[in-house]
Amino acid sequence: MRKEKRDIRVMLAVLLIVAAAGILFLLNRSKGRALARQETALELLSADALCVGDEVIKPVQADAEIGGRTYTVHPEGSGIVRITDMEQSVIVLPDDTVSAEITVFSGEETVFSGNEEGFRSFYPENGKYRLLVRCRVQPDAVTSKGEEFTFEGTEEYRAELEYDVPMKISFESDRIREGSVMTVNASGVRGDVVISAGEVLAPFPLVTDERGYARGLFSVSYITPPGTYTGFIETRDGTSEFSFTIEEEQYAVQHLIISEETQSATIGNSDNRDAYNEMIDKTYYSWYPERFYDDCFTLPVDGVVTTEFGLFRYTNDNPVPTRHAGVDLAEDEGTPVLAAASGYVIAAGYNGVSGNTVVMDHGFGVRTYYFHMAELCVREGEFVEEGIEIGKVGATGYATGPHLHFNLMVHDNSVDPWAAFNGTSGIFGLDRNGGAQP
């Protein structure tokens, strides 16, 4: 009897020990799992890196929230980033980023605050800054020891940020033909950049975007003699020079007899010349920093070329030739004249030299001139799309028969219109609108 009782007690004690051990084992197992989850989450966080340009930066602090508790690690982190080109000034965040707060300090002052999109257009003065990036991350479900779990975390990155972006300016070539155009691109631009070349090219500004990229058109008139010239680049830091060579273009020669009456009634009359100058001179000051024109100009009138662009014209056996700044396209009176490209009408009216006249501005200093029309279909200030009728062919002003005199100017220089009609002109070297990168 006593022995049996004792045996039962022993059995019960053994069972209790086994049960307790089992419970402890289970508790430990779940605790082990929880620990493994934390470790996995924190490993993932601290392994995340972001890139600024070519530099990889690890976080200085990473936190994970699992089941209402927050765990923190401090990986070695931090870095030094030197930006010498705005292409490098881009932050690429870890893949699992939900949102990011980017702050840039200059000393104690906050000079930038925003997200990675906003940072793309942050273009500070050269100098030293401090970068702080806080990312909220939420990776997809993670598996640890066969168990799937999710967590939320934050990562904090710090870096020294040094901007040392020099201004670079590049011309398409150091050689340019008479009556042609080339593009100018610049990067690292701060403030206005103005290009000029004395008598050859009046000062014009480059169009600069918010990241310091700038571009413009450099033109040479058809009447500038070939040779080597000096150009000037004015910036807020001073003026620098560059050298370029103008190459000769071949132009045709024409001998023309025009009656004294026609001459004295038109260009021979000083009032007419004054009215012409008043209308045309003001168009030289028109300026739009946008590109309205497409990749090829429309021929405004599909007429017979009676006077070529750049031609040397000897009138009534005068030994001194005049030059033809545009192209004459003869067509029947009343034929529609189409806008060669989209742009603003910056002059529309009559004067005794160019007759019924329209001038259009297509942006970036590109302008077109339409002379001698019978009537006009547009008004000054209107925006007109390429191919729209702006007037009708006529013989008003200094003209011997119905034709359109068409002239293409870039800044204050008349250039080859045919290159605009066949798409080879340097004016098409500019990226369409926003594309500022050289």
- Give the integer Cα–Cα distance in Å for 339 and 327: 15
Sign of CA dihedral 90, 93, 95, 98: negative
Shortest Cβ distance from residue 332 to Zn ion (Å)?
Answer: 17
Cβ proximity to Zn ion: between 392 and 405 the closer is 405
> What stretches of 138-288 adopt beta strand conformation (E)?
142-144, 147-149, 152-163, 168-171, 175-177, 181-187, 194-197, 201-205, 207-208, 214-219, 227-235, 238-247, 253-256
Rounded least distance, CB 343 to Zn ion, Å: 21
Supply the minimum distance, in Å, between the C-beta of residue 288 and Zn ion.
26
Residue pair 149/141 in contact (Cβ under 8 Å)? The answer is yes
Task: In angstroms, give the least distance from the CB of 306 to Zn ion.
Answer: 8
**What tokens were used for 204?**
């014009």
Q: Is 216 or 352 the residue whose CB approaches Zn ion more closely?
A: 352
Minimum CB distance to Zn ion smaller for 144 or for 414 = 414
Return the CA Rg of the chain.
37
CB of 324 to Zn ion, least distance (A): 6
In the complex with Zn ion, which residue's Cβ is closer, 84 or 400? 400
Closer CB to Zn ion, 77 or 326, in the complex: 326
Percent helix, strand and coil across the chain, each to the nearest 5: 20, 40, 40
Q: How far is the CB of 401 from Zn ion (least distance, A)?
A: 11
Q: How far is Cα 101 from Cα 205, in angstroms, rounded to an integer?
A: 36
The nearer residue to Zn ion, 221 or 342, going by C-beta atoms, is 221
Q: How far is the CB of 405 from Zn ion (least distance, A)?
A: 3
Closer CB to Zn ion, residue 231 or residue 303?
Answer: 303
Shortest separation between residue 329's beta carbon and Zn ion, angstroms: 9
Nearer to Zn ion, 362 or 405 (CB): 405
Of the candidates 126, 175, 140, 162, the residue with the CA atom closest to the CA atom of residue 44:
140
Q: 62, 70 in Cβ contact below 8 A?
A: no
Q: How far apart (Å, rounded) are the C-alpha atoms in residues 107 and 95?
A: 31
- Please state the closest distance from residue 328 (CB atom) to Zn ion, in A: 4
CB atoms within 10 A of CB 350: 15
- Least distance between Zn ion and beta carbon 176 (Å): 24
Binding footprint of Zn ion on the chain (CB under 5 A): 328, 405
Nearer to Zn ion, 362 or 372 (CB): 372
Q: Which is nearer to Zn ion, 171 or 309 (CB)?
A: 309
CA distance 350 to 391: 12
Task: Return the number of other C-beta atoms located less than 10 Å from residue 289's C-beta.
Answer: 13
Contacts by 139-148 with C-beta closer than 8 Å and gap 24+?
A: 139/44, 139/96, 140/96, 142/37, 142/40, 142/41, 142/44, 144/33, 144/36, 144/37, 144/39, 144/40, 145/32, 145/33, 145/36, 147/33, 147/36, 147/37
Buried b (16+ CB within 10 A) or exposed e, 9-42: eeeeeeeeeeeeeeeeeeeeeeeeebeebbebbb
Min separation Cβ 402 and Zn ion, Å? 12
* 161 vs 415, beta carbon nearer Zn ion: 415
Residue closest to Zn ion when measured from CB atoms: 405
321 and 314 in contact (C-beta within 8 Å)?
yes
CB of 415 to Zn ion, least distance (A): 15
Which of 90, 96, 42 is closest to 65 using CA atoms? Answer: 42
Compare residues 27 and 305 and give the one whose CB is closer to Zn ion: 305
